[in-house]
Structure 1
Amino acid sequence: MSTEQFFPTVQRLEKLVPELLQVSNNLSPQAKSNCLMLLASGARRWVILRSLYDPDSHFFIEFEAELFNCADWLTKFKQIISNYQSHTLEYWLFADYTGVVKSQFISVLKSRYNLEDNDIQELLSISIFATTERTFRNQFTQLATLKNQILERKVINEKTNSKKQIHKFRKRSPAAILEILATNQSFDSDVALEIFTNEVSAIAELLLTKINGEQRLFIHHEYVVNEELREASADSADRLKELWKIAPTPPIQITYYSAYLNKTTKYIVYPVCLYYYQRAYYLCAFGQRPQRTEAQPQIGWYNYRLERITRLKTLSWDTANLPFLQSEIINHPENYSPDYIQQELDSAYGFDFYENVGLTLLRFEANFAQCYIDNSFRHPTFEKLDSHKDAIALIKQLELPNQRKLITHINQYPDAAYYTLRYRQNENNVIMRLRAWGPKVEVIFPQQLRQCMKQEIEQTWQLYKDSLD
């Protein structure tokens, strides 16, 4: 087991205290007080669970004997945490985790139980172990009688004449506990680790878990949106979040400013997901779209910069003259889902996943490739060829019209590193990536991309050709 498998979530407290599921979302003052008490009880049980099953916990307890009782546990617990009664719920649940886990926990609490900030503060400040030993015994009994048993309870005086049964407890197998915990994701679905793409999930636990009480991973989140627009952008994200709770997801009308067209227009779209890409947030949606050229279809996919959406209106599927059919989208969810978008992003480099795909051959200076390219990941379709001979074979296979000239050029650089890449045509992020490599990379084909790079370089040269010394 790992600390990641013991993220405290509201859903897990509900599993430990099923009575929480019966609490209404519209709480009266009395019901709200009862809700806070139940949550505190859930936190107590969560700490007991971690103390028995999480060896990475700073209050993990081991027993020499297979059977133990509450008094055995409490004796060891007091030895490990001498001032256990003074610590608050906030300490017990979040001391081993970063603020990301706490923020998510609080967000779910507010949405599921309609708790206010003052209620949350009251809950976090409860000293959950400032209680009697009888309460501890009741907690152990409850953990053994839950539908998903956390402990096994065994009668140890069955053959005696004593009228009162004496119980002891036995830990369940780690596999059984893992199965119980796995019924709820380690982190709430809103921020599940699946949101991390391009293998970032491999380091996500460092982002969420403290090491010896210290956070050791920090991410600099570069967000280029003007601060004045960030609140409006966050409001749009919140509205979309609520919209996606409706089944089926309804269409929306957005008022959108296109920087490329320098024009504000209304579009009716089917919203699919949000992406953070290249220092800004985007709404990926299908429907009406800005047309950069007359050849582009009026209906299709588009990435809308979130802060440029100035108005968002929820529509009904019964709205007249929708530009797309409900049956097409609802009956073919595989074509209008986040998974589809991720699949398309993986199929070619570039964020505009709806643009046409091209294949390019790139030549890198050998030493540069060895130091910075060969053992790095750029995209699933970014592949190194074994030698310049493979580059020549590819050119012949594609039957390019200028293949003789290309082959002659490649033969001048037999020691270079050659890579192929599938990319999105007419995508500025592709040009920016190639431009960042500067003179260390050359586009061999296609001619259109090579010409585009040439124009970029010539225009840049015009800026710097005159000395300003």
Structure 2
Amino acid sequence: MSDTWPISPTIEILDKLARYGLKQNLPKAFRLWIILDYLYGDHHLDLEALFSFNQWLEQFFPGFEQVHKTDAIHRIKNHHPHCRCQRSIQDWLDDYFQPEALSQWKQHFLQRYPGFTPEQLDNLLNHKPLFAVSRKSLWNDFERLCDQGYLRNSTAHRNNRNERYYQKINPPPFIDPPAEVGVSALGNLVINDLADFLQDFGEKIRGEQRFFLDLEYIIHHRLSPHIEQLRQSLKVAWSQDLIPPITLEYFSASNFEDHESSAKYYTYPVCLYYSQRVPYLFAFGQNPQPGRWNWYDFRLDRIKALTPITWQSPDLRQALTVFTHPGQPLNELEKQLYLLTEPDKRAQKYQAYCSELTPDIIHSLKAEAWGFDFFRPKQTMLLRFNQYFHARYILGTERDELFRRLSVEEVERILRRESLIDPRYQRLLSKLSTNSVYCRVDYREGDYNVIMRLRAWGANVEVLFPMSLRQEMQQESQKIAALYS
């Protein structure tokens, strides 16, 4: 049996197979578990690398020819006393658990789903044979396992016709959910004072959970198997003494009109970051910015494939030979790469540079300016706030440190200076008022998260500088006004 394959069907594993709907789908989830266990576990069947549905049926059921080759469900009952189709969930559980462990399994189920009574659970476990289902239902089980990433399906041309075949994943998929994360460990994931709430209220108080996190997560559940594969690949890579570079097949939001078009990038993974409804992979290397070897945040659900490679990879060396001057300020690595011509030296320089990159560097860069894309150029913004809005949503919060207040006189001096270059700033001078609050903030130019926040604040905030951002907000406001006119 694989070291990564679990030895028993825990509630957590079954819930995962049921796509977190175990309460309604216990028989289905348990049937999926048995199929997987007889493919990957100690009970594995003697099947070829590619096997058909009929080949699996023939090995799994002794009465294949007489009963299971067709949908003769009415003939299944007592057709063969030792056929696996005669066994209830309770019978299967008895194989996997000793009496005390089985009692704990049932208690765990009842605690997780308090709507069940012990009698109802026992009735469900003994209600009918687990595999007394139609051939179509079993076939759907196999297709479900393919959708969830535990099997592959393919079509092969045999016996003068195309036939559907299945293939086991090698190495076997890791189905067991991770061990329960303690409150202190969860606190390590939070980079603000919210960690204190986890520490104080992470555990139940007198049997009641009193603190909840409502995090919006918009990745569709159909992608769950793929996202899990990405997570496991990254976990394996980060567990190595020498973290390898990776290749990513990725489609960028900038090419949203063609969701099938993707590009391949060579990069070095540093950490995962959840923000604004989805997780991102922060990595350093090639990215959708043409000609750049720089930081980038790859949205996880847009990564079509992730493959670890070696630092000696010829493909990586080839990618480094096509590095070109991007026509904009270079980062430290790009300056060094630009001076080197030999592929081996460029690869050595890239490896040495990446070996020093850590998540702490990302945290530090993010703290320098407002925005999520810390790798974008830093720019200064001047804002005018409605004084009541500022008092309610900025003053006394962490934003108060980010948005440094300026006097009307300071803003006037800045705008007069800028008007020497761009006369449009002159018109803003007449709008200055002591009834408003003015702030200066460093932000990441072109960061969409900054734009979204300014949109959310609406008429409570006005961009005074830079003019390019002011015009962008003005055009956006005009489009919105046109929609509702």
- The interval holding the TM-score normalised by the smaller chain is 0.5 to 0.7
Q: Describe the superposition over 1:93-129 as per-residue Cα deviations: whole angstroms up to 9, x where unpaired.
A: xxxxxxxxxxxxxxxxxxxxxxxx9789949959xxx
Match of 2:437 among 411, 414, 417: 417
Q: Bigger shift: 268-277 or 407-416? A: 407-416
* Range moving further from structure 2, 253-262 or 320-329: 320-329
Partner of 1:271: 269
Higher relative contact order (CA 8 A, sep 6+): 1
RMSD: 3.4
1:272 Cα shift? 0.7
Q: What is the distance in 2 between the residues matched to 1:190 and 1:241?
A: 20
The equivalences for 1:276-295 within 5 A come to 276-291=274-289
Are 2:216 and 1:222 equivalent residues in the alignment? yes
The residue number in structure 2 matching 1:206 is 200
In 2: Cα distance, 1:239 partner to 1:198 partner: 28
Distance 1:299 1:455, change over 3 A: same
Alignment partners' CA distance in 2, 1:313 and 1:221: 29
Residue from 458, 462, 484 that aligns with 1:438: 458
Moved more, 400-409 or 300-309: 400-409
Using the size of structure 1 for normalisation, the TM-score is 0.55
Equivalent position of 1:196 in the other structure: 190
Q: Which residue of structure 2 aligns with residue 251 of structure 1?
A: 245
2-structure distance, mates of 1:343, 1:437:
27
Structure 1 segment 357-396 matched on structure 2, within 5 A = 357-378=378-399, 381-385=402-406, 387-395=407-415
Once the 2 structures are TM-superposed, how far is the Cα of residue 425 of structure 1 from its aligned partner?
0.8
Cα distance change of structure 1 residues 406 and 419 upon mapping to structure 2, 3 Å threshold: farther
CA distance in 1 between partners of 2:478 and 2:424 (Å): 26
Does the CA contact (< 8 Å) of 2:184 and 2:199 recur in 1?
Answer: no
Check whether the contact 1:346–1:380 (CA below 8 A) recurs between aligned residues.
no
Q: Does 1:451 align with 2:445?
A: no
Change in Cα spacing, 1:119 to 1:188, as seen in structure 2 (3 Å) is farther
2: CA distance between counterparts of 1:236 and 1:379? 38
Residue identity matched to 1:343:
S
Aligned residue for 1:301, secondary structure, equals: strand
Q: For residues 257 and 300 of structure 1, what CA distance do their matches in structure 2 show?
A: 17
| Cα 1:369/1:124, change in 2 over 3 Å | farther
1:209-251 deviation per Cα after TM superposition (whole angstroms, max 9, x unaligned): 2223321110112101122113311221122111100121101
**Which residue of the other structure, out of 292, 300, 303, is the alignment partner of 1:298?**
292
Partner SS for 1:250? coil
1:320 pairs with 2:314 = yes
**TM-score normalised by L of structure 2:** 0.53
Contact 1:388 1:410 in 2 (8 A): no
Residues 250 and 305, structure 2, Cα contact 8 Å, conserved in 1: yes
State the alpha-carbon separation in 2 of the partners of residues 199 and 399 from structure 1: 42
What is the number of residues matched between the two proteins?
A: 289
Q: Among 440, 447, 466, which residue is 1:427 paired with? A: 447
CA distance in 1, matches of 2:310, 2:183: 26
2:481 to 444, 461, 465: 461
Q: How does 1:17-416 map to 2 (within 5 A)?
A: 122=101, 125=104, 191=185, 193-261=187-255, 262=258, 263-291=261-289, 296-322=290-316, 323=319, 325=346, 327-332=348-353, 336-378=357-399, 381-385=402-406, 387-395=407-415, 401-402=421-422, 405-406=425-426, 409=429, 412-416=432-436
Distance 2:482 2:367 in 1: 36
Overall identity of the aligned pairs, in %: 33
Task: Letter of the 1:388 partner, please give it.
Answer: V
Secondary structure of residue in 2 paired with 1:436: helix
State the alpha-carbon separation in 2 of the partners of residues 389 and 332 from structure 1: 46
Q: What's the secondary structure of 1:444's corresponding residue?
A: strand
In the alignment, the residues of structure 2 paired with residue 346 and residue 124 of structure 1 have an alpha-carbon distance, to the nearest angstrom, of 51
Cα separation, 2, equivalents of 1:362 and 1:435: 13
Deviations 1:227-286 (A, max 9, x none): 211331122112211110012110111111223223311111111110101000111111
Distance 1:26 1:419 in 2: 58
* CA displacement 1:140-198 (0-9 Å, x = unmatched): xxxxxxxxxxxxxxxxxxxxxxxxxxxxxxxxxxxxxxxxxxxxxxx779945232023
Which has the higher mean CA deviation after the structures are superposed, 426-435 or 398-407? 398-407
Structure 2 gaps of 5+ residues are 8-92, 106-180, 321-345
Q: 1:455 to 1:249 in 2, by over 3 A?
A: same
Q: How much does 1:391 deviate? A: 2.4
Q: Distance in 2 between matches of 1:404 and 1:451?
A: 11
Task: Find the counterpart in structure 2 of residue 40 from structure 1.
Answer: none
Judge conservation of contact 1:363–1:444 (CA < 8 Å) in 2.
yes
Distance 1:209 1:189 in 2: 8
Find the residue that maps to 2:449 and give its secondary structure.
helix
Given that 2:419 and 2:426 are in contact with CA atoms closer than 8 Å, whether structure 1 keeps it comes out as no
Q: Could you tell me whether the CA contact under 8 Å between 1:248 and 1:330 is conserved in 2?
A: no
The residue type paired with residue 345 of structure 1 is: K
Unmatched tracts of structure 1, length 5 or more: 1-24, 33-116, 127-186
